[in-house]
Amino acid sequence: MQFGNIFDLCKSEHFCQTVSLALRIIFLSKFISADRVNAELQTFSSLPGTDMKTVFIFLITGIFLASFPETSPVFSQEQYRDYWVRNYDILTAKDHPRVSRTRAIFNRVLAAADKRSNRYPKLLIINETGYPWAISLQDGTVILTQKAMENCYINADRETGDARLAFIFGHEMAHLAKDDFWHVSAFKALQDFGTGRKADQENRSLLLKTEDIENTSRAREIARKKELQADAYGILYTSMAGFDPLAIVDANGLNFFQEWISQLTEKTAHTYQIHSAPEHQVHPTPEQRAAFLLVNMRAVVNEIYLFDLGVRFCQIGRYEKGLALLEAFKEKYPCREVCNNLGLIHYEIAVRALAACDPNKAYQFKLATVLDTDTRAGRLVAVRGRECPRMTQFKAHIQYAIHDFKTACEKESSYLAARVNISSALIMDGNYSGALAALDDALKISADDPGVLCNRAVAMYLLGNSVKTDIFEQASEILKSVSNSNKGFSDAFYNLGRLLAEQDRKTEAKEIWERFIQFEPAGIYADMVREFPGMEAQALVTGKITSSHFAESSPVILGGCDKITEKQLEGFVRHPLGFGLISGDCYIKNSTRVFVLDYVVELVETPVRQKISVSSLKSAYGRPRRIISNPSGVKTFVYENFAADVENGVVNKVIHF
C-alpha cells in the first residue's frame, strides 16, 4: 500500500470513528483482560471500509503486541508467564514475610481443587503495591499482587486472612478448571488453521454468539455468570482445603467482596467497571456475589447430612447404601474425607468378597484401616479356587478402593489416613512394593504411627516371600517394637502371631495369640486365631446380655412412615436430601437427627439421657460386633440393632437402626 492511499483514507467519513476506537483499544489494553481486548478488536473489525480496517488493525496489532504480548489471541500460551517475569519484579520469600505462607495456602487449595492438565495452576506473586488484583492466565498461571496478598489480612486475624487468600486462589483455579479460556484457544485454532471457508466463518460467528468475548450485554451476562460459578467453586475449594468459608460471607452481613472493592483505586474500579450500570458490568456486584454464596453454602450444609448418613451406614455394615450416599455427596463436595471413605467401602466389599473365596487369604493379616474389616460373628462359606464367582467382585472393588485412596492422597499430601488405607488395599492386591512406597510417605507424616509400622512389617514380609527372600526377622522386630510401645494395639499381636505360625514356631505363636485374644476376644480375627491348634480352648465369653436393643428407646420409631411418625417428627426441622433416584430427608431437633430414605425411617441418632461407662455397656449388651476408631478420637461400638459413640470412656450418643 502506498502512503498516498493512507492519506486518502484520512478523508473518509469513518476516520474519526476508527481513530477513536483504535486509541480506546490501545489505552484499555493497559487495564483490561485479554478477552476484553479481543472483544474490542472484534468491534473494531466490524467497521466499514476494508482498507482502513487493514491499516489500523495493522497499527493497533503492532503497538499492542509490542506492549502486551500476553493479551494477543495469537501469542503462544507458554509465554504468558514469561512476560510477567520479564516485566515485573517477582516477590519471593526473601522479599516478604507472607510469601511462604501464601504459597502454602495456594498448594492446599490446589490439592483440593479440580485441575486440567493443560492448565495446571502455578502461582506467581508480583511486586505490585498500587492496587490489589488476581488473575488466571491461559497457561495456568495464577498471578497475585503483593497488595492483594496484604489486603486479605487487613482488619483480620491470621485464620480469616488465610481463608480469604484461599478463596481468591479457589476462584481463579475454578476459572482454569472450568476451561473458561477455551474460546480463546478455539479462535486461535481458527486463525492458525482455518481456510476461510464458510464453515470456518460460521464457527467464528457461533463462538461470538455463545461466549463472553463479544462486546454485548449478552456477552457481559455470560461473563457475570462465569464469575458467580467461579465463586461457587472457589468457596467449595476453600472449605475442602480446610479453611473457614464464613470468613468470606456470612448471614450477619460479613462481605469480603465489599471489603475488597473498598480497597480499589479509581483506576482499578474503572477496570472492574464498578461504577457502571449493571448491564455494562463484567463482574457481579459484591451484594450479588455474597447472596449467591450464602445460598450455595446453605445447600452444602444440607448435603453434609448425606456424608454423615453415608458414614453411619458404613459403620453399621450397610455398605451398599453408604456407597450410594457418599457417591452422591462426592458429586457436589469431592473432599478428601469422602474419597477416603468411598475407598474404605470398596475395600470392605472387596475383603468380604475375597473371604467368600478364601478366608485365610482375606484375614491372613490384620491391616490397619480407619474402618475395620467386617467382624460379624459367623464365617462365610468359602468357595475356593480360581473359579470362585466372588473373585471378580474382589478385583473390581479393590481397584476402586485404590483409585479413591489415591484421589484422597492427592487432595492433601499430609492426609495420613488415606496413605494407611491405600497401603492396606495395595497389600490385599499383592502390590507390596507399591504399599511400601505409600508407607514411606506415611512415615514422613507420622514416624511412630502403629498402623503405619504394622502395615510396613506385613508388606516387607510378603514382598520377601514373593521374591524368595527371608524378611521374617526384620518384620517381626518391627511388630515386637509396636506391640511393646502400644500395649492395646491388637493388630501387632495378631500379625506377629501369624508370622510366627508361618515359620512353624507354634509355641511362640500361641503365646502371642493368647495376648491378642485378651484384647480382641470377638470377631472374625479372633475366630481365625481359634482355628490354630491349641487355641480352641480360648472360648468366647460374652457375659449375660440383657437385650439386643438399647435401653433408651428411639424418639422416632424405625420403619415405614405413618401418622405416628408424623406426630413424632413434630417440631423437627426438615432438610431435604436430594441424590439420584433416591428421595430422603434429615430431620433435626436439638442434637437428635432422624434420617428418612424413601419414606422409611432408617436411622435415628440421639444423645443418651443417662450416660454410662464402657464397662457398663459391655456388661449389659456383651461384646460389640465391631469397634470403630474415628479420627476425632470418638469410638463407635456397633451392636446388632444399635451403635454407641464413646468419648473418654463414656457413652454420649446412641444410633438406632
pLDDT, tens digit (0-9, with 9 covering 90-100), for 560-586 = 999 999 999 999 988 887 666 667 899
- Most confident by average pLDDT, 184-188, 218-222, 552-556: 552-556
**Is it the case that residue 253 has pLDDT exceeding 80?**
no
Phi, psi dihedrals of residue 30, rounded to the nearest 5°: -75, -20
pLDDT confidence tier of residue 306, bands split at 50, 70 and 90: confident
The percentage of the chain sitting over the pLDDT mark of 90, rounded to a whole number, equals 37
- Where are the chain's structural domains? 3-72, 80-284, 334-530, 559-656
Any idea which architecture 334-530 has in CATH? Answer: Alpha Horseshoe (1.25)
Count other Cβ atoms within 10 Å, centred on residue 215: 17
pLDDT in tens, 626-655: 888 776 678 899 998 999 999 888 999 999
Q: What is the Cα–Cα distance from 632 to 346, expressed in whole angstroms?
A: 22
Asked if 116 and 152 count as a contact pair (C-beta separation under 8 A), the reply is: no
Asked if 633 and 640 count as a contact pair (C-beta separation under 8 A), the reply is: no
Residue 67: its pLDDT value, please? 45
State whether the Cα torsion 86-91-93-95 is positive or negative. positive
Helices and strands per DSSP (H, E), number in the chain: 27, 12
Asked if 517 and 509 count as a contact pair (C-beta separation under 8 A), the reply is: no
Long-range contacts of 328-335, Cβ-Cβ distance < 8 Å, separation of 24 or more: 328/579, 328/580, 328/582, 329/303, 329/304, 329/579, 332/299, 332/300, 332/303, 333/236, 333/239, 333/240, 333/300, 333/303, 333/304, 333/307, 334/114, 334/240, 334/407, 334/411, 335/112, 335/239, 335/240, 335/411
On the 0-12 / 13-18 / 19+ scale of CB atoms within 10 A, 419 is: buried
Report the predicted TM-score, pTM, of the whole model to 2 decimal places: 0.64
Residue with cell 489505552: 27
Residue with cell 467368600: 356
Query: DSSP code of 469?
Result: -
pLDDT in tens, 384-437: 444 577 888 999 999 999 999 999 888 877 888 899 999 999 999 999 999 999
Residue 398: its pLDDT value, please? 96
Q: For the ranges 226-230, 277-281, 611-615, which has the lowest average pLDDT?
A: 277-281
pLDDT in tens, 86-112: 888 999 999 999 999 999 999 989 987
pLDDT confidence tier of residue 3, bands split at 50, 70 and 90: very low
Residue 43: its pLDDT value, please? 57
Give the chain's end-to-end CA distance (angstroms, integer): 86
Q: What is the Cα–Cα distance from 548 to 641, expressed in whole angstroms?
A: 6
Residue 335: its pLDDT value, please? 76
Q: What is the Cα–Cα distance from 231 to 296, expressed in whole angstroms?
A: 10
DSSP 90-122: BP-TTT-TTHHHHHHHHHHHHHHS---GGG--E
Helix H or strand E encompassing 647: strand 642-647
Q: What is the Cα–Cα distance from 455 to 64, expressed in whole angstroms?
A: 61
The percentage of the chain sitting over the pLDDT mark of 70, rounded to a whole number, equals 71
pLDDT in tens, 355-376: 988 988 999 999 988 553 232 2
- Most confident by average pLDDT, 55-69, 174-188, 239-253: 239-253
Q: Is 430 helix (H, G, I), strand (E, B) or coil?
A: coil
Distant-in-sequence, close-in-space partners of 222: CB < 8 Å, separation ≥ 6: 210, 211, 212
Residue 162: its pLDDT value, please? 94
Asked if 230 and 178 count as a contact pair (C-beta separation under 8 A), the reply is: yes
C-alpha cell at 14: 469513518
Work out the mean pLDDT of the chain and round it to a whole number.
Answer: 78
Residue with cell 472493592: 261
pLDDT in tens, 131-183: 678 888 888 899 999 999 999 998 889 999 999 999 999 989 988 888 766 54
Residue 68: its pLDDT value, please? 43
β pairing state of 650-656 and 642-647: antiparallel
The residue-averaged pLDDT of 499-524 equals 89
What are the residues facing 573 on neighbouring strands?
588
Distant-in-sequence, close-in-space partners of 560: CB < 8 Å, separation ≥ 6: 599, 600, 601
Helix H or strand E encompassing 43: helix 34-45
Q: Is 634 helix (H, G, I), strand (E, B) or coil?
A: coil
Asked if 37 and 56 count as a contact pair (C-beta separation under 8 A), the reply is: no
C-alpha cell at 312: 453411619
Residue 78: its pLDDT value, please? 43
pLDDT in tens, 315-353: 898 998 899 888 888 887 777 788 889 999 999 999 999
C-alpha cell at 81: 508467564
pLDDT confidence tier of residue 622, bands split at 50, 70 and 90: confident
Helix H or strand E encompassing 627: strand 626-629
Residue 139: its pLDDT value, please? 85
Residue 219: its pLDDT value, please? 67
- Most confident by average pLDDT, 18-27, 127-136, 611-620, 627-636: 611-620
Q: What is the Cα–Cα distance from 285 to 312, expressed in whole angstroms?
A: 41
Asked if 151 and 260 count as a contact pair (C-beta separation under 8 A), the reply is: yes
The residue-averaged pLDDT of 37-49 equals 56
Residue 97: its pLDDT value, please? 94
Q: What is the Cα–Cα distance from 544 to 623, expressed in whole angstroms?
A: 10
Asked if 24 and 37 count as a contact pair (C-beta separation under 8 A), the reply is: no
What are the residues facing 125 on neighbouring strands?
144
Nearest C-alpha neighbor of 511 from the set 502, 526, 523, 500:
500
Helices (H), 69-197: 80-87, 99-112, 146-151, 158-177, 182-193
Distant-in-sequence, close-in-space partners of 584: CB < 8 Å, separation ≥ 6: 309, 576, 577, 595, 596, 597, 598
Q: What is the Cα–Cα distance from 279 to 220, expressed in whole angstroms?
A: 7
pLDDT confidence tier of residue 530, bands split at 50, 70 and 90: confident
Q: What is the Cα–Cα distance from 72 to 35, expressed in whole angstroms?
A: 9
Nearest C-alpha neighbor of 462 from the set 350, 376, 361:
361
Rounded to 10 degrees, the C-alpha dihedral 182/186/189/195 comes to: 170
β pairing state of 141-145 and 134-136: antiparallel
Distant-in-sequence, close-in-space partners of 310: CB < 8 Å, separation ≥ 6: 321, 322, 323, 324, 325, 326, 329, 338, 341
